[in-house]
Each structure stands twice: as C-alpha cells, then as structure tokens.
Structure 1
C-alpha cells in the first residue's frame, strides 16, 4: 500500500510538472522528499502539500472525489463537509480540500494505529495466557515427569490459586480485545497494549484467585460447587 501511494504521488507530481502551471523547482523538492524516505509520514506530508499546487480543474476534481470518502468520518465532521458540497469559491475549496485531506489521513492513520496495537495486545495476551497455562499445570507436570513431591500443601494451594487467577484474567482480556480497543482513544491504545499493562491485569487476577482461595479455605464460601481440600501430598494425583 505504501509503495502504491508513493507511485500515485510521483505520477501526480509529474503531471503537474508537465502542465507547466507550477514551478518545477517546488515540485522537484517534493519529489526529492519521496526519494529520501519511505514512510507514511512522508507520503502524507507530500500529499497534503500537493493541494497548494493543483490547478483549478484538478482541485475541483479531487475535491469532488474526496467528498465521496466522508462517510468514514464521525457524524459531526461528515455533516460539516456535506454542508460545503455546494461551495464554488476556489480559494475556499482549496482551503477545505487541505483540511479534508488532513482529516482523511488522520482517519487512515488512526485505523493503522488501532490495527498495530490490537495485534500487539493480542500477541502479549496470548503469551501471558500460555505462560499462565504452563504455570498452572506445572505442579502436576513436575510430579508426572520428574517425580517431584510437594510437601508444603499450602504453597501448592496458593500457587494454584494465583496461577488460576492469572489464567482467568488473561482469558478475560483475550475475549475483550476488540471492545476495549473500540472504547479506547487513540492515545490510550499504546498504553493498554503494553506488556506491562497486561501483566498488571494478570497480577490483579492472581490477587483475586488468592482471595477466593482464602474465602473457600475459611469456609466463608462452601458447598458442592467449591472443591474440598486434601491434606496429604499423596492425594494430589
């Protein structure tokens, strides 16, 4: 997509050069920016700068074409541009066109940020879930594969409760990625996708698991739904 955008921008610059309506030196400077760096920031900057060099026909054509994309905007911004559809004063149209291009770039960049942070958040949560899953079953795996005995049952219970809480918190985060991204602002997405934030939520889950363990152990919670505690290591398997 980025390469295609660069090709379109170069083609637009060459058409403007061929038309002779604009100083070729200024357009050459814009083209040199494309040659210097391959990035969306550069592409957006050049695209926005080109609006000032459009002739009248190109300006009106691009204005009408870009107006077809305003449905991607929030309702209030889309309503503003719909009110400007009948504008015919070219200086006003050029000013509106610059703003429209900027707003469209912002929408596209926002979607790119959302995708990037959503994928990073998913990777971090999956990694946390796998680690929690392995930790949760590590006592049983250790007994089966390495014949390790757990003499301290209290440690076994607290470890199991904490890792169960982490596993539950990770699963909860995994099922709510999309809704949390939709509810977050663009400036919040980077923070909530960080591994540190996800591990903090996992620690909250560990604390919840330990609280539940102590409530069950103290018989504040009891019944057929809750497990019965064993008292000897031999009963683990």
Structure 2
C-alpha cells in the first residue's frame, strides 16, 4: 500500500508519528545496505540496470511501496554471504508474522536451494511478508473504525435518551411531552439502543481478538453497527409493549395496568422500564427467549 491506512485516518496522532519514524528507519537501513554495495564498482557495473532503478526509487517520495520495491531489487545484487544473512533475518520476521505452516515451509526450503533459487524464494518471502503486514495494518484500520463508530452510536443513544423530549422542535415533531406515553416509548427504544451499544463496547476487545480480517471487514461497517442498534431499539419497544399488555407482571416489572394511578408518570415505573429495556438491548437473548416462550404458551393453549 502506498500509505499506511492508519496514518491516513489519524495523520496527526501518535500512531501516525510512529509510522513515519518506522518508515524513516527502514529507509536508513536500506540506504546503508545499498551504500555498501555501491563501494564495489564491479558489482555496480554488473547490475547497472537494477542500480539505476534503485537510484530512481530513492529519489521518489518515501513510502512503504517504494521501500518494498528497493528491497526486491537488492536481492539479485547480494553476494552469497549477504544473501544468506538476509534470509536469516527475514526468516526471523516471518516467524512472527506468517502462519506456522508458511514459516516452516520457507525455513526448510532455503537449506536445499542453490543461489538463484534462494533469490527467487527470498523474493517470494518478501511478498508474503509485505502482504501479511498490509493485512495487519488493514485489521488495525478496521479495529480503529469499529471502536470510533461504536462509541459514536453509544453517544447518540445517550443523546436520544436524555434529550429527545427536551429539544422543543423534536418533541413537537414527535408530539410528545415529558412523562406521557410517547415519552415512555422513546425512552424504551433509547434504553434498548443504549444497552446494545454498551454491550458492543465492552465486548469489543474480545471480539476483535477472535475475529479474522473478513469478520473485521463486516463488523466495522456502519450498516452492521446500525443494524445492531436497530435490534436494541426494537427490543426495548417490544419489552415496553410486553409490560403495557400485561404479558410481564410482577414486583420487579413496571406496572402499566389501568388500575395503576401513576400509569406513565410514576418514577418507579420509569426506572424499571429503563433498566429492563437496557437489559433487553444488552442481552441478545432476552427478547427472543420471551417471544419463544410466548409462542409456546399460545401453542399449548390452542392445543388444550
């Protein structure tokens, strides 16, 4: 990749600075190796076309793509001792970055090849290492976006929870006033959304660690995150209607029965509704289990 994706997203962050320093150090290492080669006139003449390409690459703006090309062009110029040393160094890098089976393949193959074959295999190893690094950086990019976007959804859910009935034009648009049925419906949906966002935030670390790059590609997308938020909102809404209809009753549940004089204005009702709607968003199984249990009860009653 021309530029590291993380540096594009956070160009002024500490990560971007560290990335720039790594690139600078890589160029220093390459330049040091190349200058040693240039001291040998016969080798320079022998590989004049490659030397010309390397010189042009050093004149271009510094980038990881250009550094990778320089690295590839240096392979045929190495002497046998230099080639063996480079292979040992790259095998150490490969052990950390490549899969175990890939590393074992390269480690076993290099000992049985002649110089030309070693050069070809080292070039291939370079490509695999660069690809592994690009995938790693892409994963970091997806991870950063997932954290930022999940945090944004959580902040928006808090705004919806606390402010939806406080902002006059929104309250007028939705025809709700503080403490009425519409306010409770919005509160239930917002609490469900907040529960889902909170669940995603606290499980994010473990989820990222076990996810492949394909999984990260999906879970970082706004449409995926919004679908999770929508599930939380619907869960909160369904739970509200479950309470209002009397499907769920008990001392630990809000009482929205017609006999309850507080109905939608009681602080206890509001608190219980918020807690349960938050839990419904936080737990992916609560509302589905409730629906399954309701379906089973209906089926059993019909059979009787």
TM-score, length of structure 2 as denominator length? 0.67
Larger relative contact order (Cα-Cα within 8 Å, sequence gap ≥ 6): 1
User: Are residue 68 (structure 1) and residue 104 (structure 2) matched?
Assistant: no
* Partners of 2:110 and 2:50 in 1: CA distance: 30
How many positions carry a matched residue from both structures? 234
- State the alpha-carbon separation in 2 of the partners of residues 38 and 112 from structure 1: 18
Partner Cα distance (1:161, 1:34) in 2: 61
Counting only pairs closer than 5 Å after superposition, residues 14-53 of structure 1 correspond to structure 2 as 14-20=35-41, 21-22=43-44, 23-53=47-77
Q: Structure 1 residues 174 and 107, CA, compared in 2 at 3 Å: closer, same or farther?
A: same
Distance 1:104 1:166 in 2: 42
SS of residue paired to 1:61: helix
Q: Is the 8 A contact 2:192 2:233 kept in 1?
A: yes
Q: How do 1:111-126 and structure 2 match up within 5 A?
A: 111-126=136-151
Cα distance change of structure 1 residues 210 and 93 upon mapping to structure 2, 3 Å threshold: same
Is 1:4 aligned with 2:25? yes
Find the aligned partners of 1:39 and 1:19 in 2 and give their Cα distance: 27
What does 1:1-237 align with in structure 2 at a 5 Å threshold?
1-20=22-41, 21-22=43-44, 23-72=47-96, 73-138=98-163, 150=177, 153-229=180-256, 230-231=262-263, 233=265
Gaps of 5+ in 2: 1-21, 169-175, 257-261, 272-304
The separation in 2 between residues aligned to 1:234 and 1:192, in whole angstroms, is 39
Label 1:10 to 1:187 Cα distance change in 2 as closer, same or farther (>3 A). Answer: farther
Structure 2 CA distance for aligned equivalents of residues 31 and 161 of structure 1 = 66
Quote how far apart the aligned CAs of 1:179 are: 3.3
Helix, strand or coil at the partner of 1:77: helix
Deviation track 1:40-73 (CA, whole Å, cap 9, x = no partner) reads 2222232233223322221111012222233222
Change over 3 Å in CA distance of 1:26–1:96 after alignment to 2: closer
- What's the RMSD between the two structures over aligned residues? 2.9
Aligned CA distance change for structure 1 residues 179 and 225 (closer, same or farther; 3 Å): same
Label 1:211 to 1:45 Cα distance change in 2 as closer, same or farther (>3 A). Answer: farther
Answer yes or no: is the 8 Å Cα contact 1:17–1:24 preserved in 2.
no
Match of 1:37, SS state, is: coil
Unaligned stretches of 5+ residues in structure 1: 144-148
